[in-house]
Amino acid sequence: MTMPINKTTVAGALVVILLVANIINYFCSGWGLITVKVKDAPLGQVIKSIERQGWVTIYSNIDPQSKVTMYCDHVTLPEAMETLSVNVEEAPPADAGGNGGGGGYGGNGGRGGRGGGLGGGGGGAQWSLAFFIAPTSEQVKAEVRSFTEGADRNDDSLQSYNFPTPLNMISDESTPVADPRLQIWPGVKTAPAPPPNADGTPATGPDGQPLQAEESPTTVQGYLRSFAEGAAVWIIAPASWDPPVATAPPPDSSISAAIRHFVSHANGSVTEAIILRGREQRTAGGDRPRGGFRAGLDLGMMEDRVDNAINGLPKEAQPAARAKLADEKQTQKEMATLPPDERRRKMFSHFMELRMNGDNNWRRSPEKRAQMYSRLVSNRISATGK
């Protein structure tokens, strides 16, 4: 016997189905997007909120009680980290020796996802995709504690690798913040010998010695360095852990997967996280480029890192970014033909212009902009007496 169809019941069921579908669509469309609207909130509270919404782990060496005023509404993790990096109340950099840190995303160097790595102009902090690596998981945990306590800065038993990746050379304020997790591992690439100077003399390093082509790595430390030279990442590991490696890590569509597989094959342990770092520079030890040209400052390798970082942009933004990178390469090629003194002046002027392109002022809160203006006025009065 066929039961009669109750039209009211069917209509009600359809309404419930549509309502449930809309609710599911609402949550799915915002999945992984981050909203933070705070004024003078503790940094630790803001980090926990971003971790929860973005499904990530974030470590920071900045005081968790530091104040943050920021506003972002349903943005990607890179955009949230970029906004946080320029709005956290971090003390000015210490007046320390050393060559300074390498690249990262975030306030250091302006538009982090775009300009991290040039150093200085963007704000009080920088953020990076990071890998804590050691022979055992307990040593990895110790590295994380050392980082969050700031003890790694002057610990020469730890070696870190992080090189400039100035994405502001190919972006403007309309360019989204790149996601470093979408970078690839292109495989080992060694830096060739730099071209001679315009007068025919060989290019030299800070020690005055001629620079030679870089040799292929043969140990764990050499390959960790290669990972950092090939992608915008921050890597830390015990300097003494340097066993030989017989086979080079093959290219991979994911930098994260490549590093995890490499460490596993080396019988080590790794923790991947997003880090937020203060700007204080090390007085000794790892977190700085070492060796001039070979410290990631080779323009060809830096441009390759920028090209890799472009993989973190939305697909529709990548062609324009790569076209700008091609223009930048041509500019660098033309400057390389100039006499040494003129080339230095041109390069300084050019990179200062790129640095201005990475100005993150529009992301700062009104209070932060007022503080920066006040500091600029104070510095001018101190310098000029008026």
The CA dihedral of 208, 212, 216, 221, to the nearest 10 degrees, is: 0
Pick the more confident residue, 214 or 301.
301
Model confidence, pTM: 0.76
Instruction: Give CA–CA dist 217/206, Å, rounded.
Output: 22
Distance, CA of 84 to CA of 38 (rounded, Å) = 11
pLDDT above 80: residue 169? no
The chain-wide mean pLDDT, for the chain, equals 78
Highest mean pLDDT: which range of 120-124, 236-240, 317-321: 236-240
Contacts of 165 (CB under 8 A, 6+ apart): 103, 116, 117, 232, 302, 305, 306, 309
**Three-state SS at 304:** helix
* 357 pLDDT more than 90: no
pLDDT tens for 280-306 read 544 433 344 433 334 445 678 888 999
DSSP code of residue 10: H
pLDDT band at 68 (very low <50, low <70, confident <90, very high): very high
According to the model, what pLDDT value does residue 17 have? 58
The band of 100, judged by pLDDT with boundaries at 50, 70 and 90, is very low
- Is residue 64 within 8 Å of 122, Cβ to Cβ? no
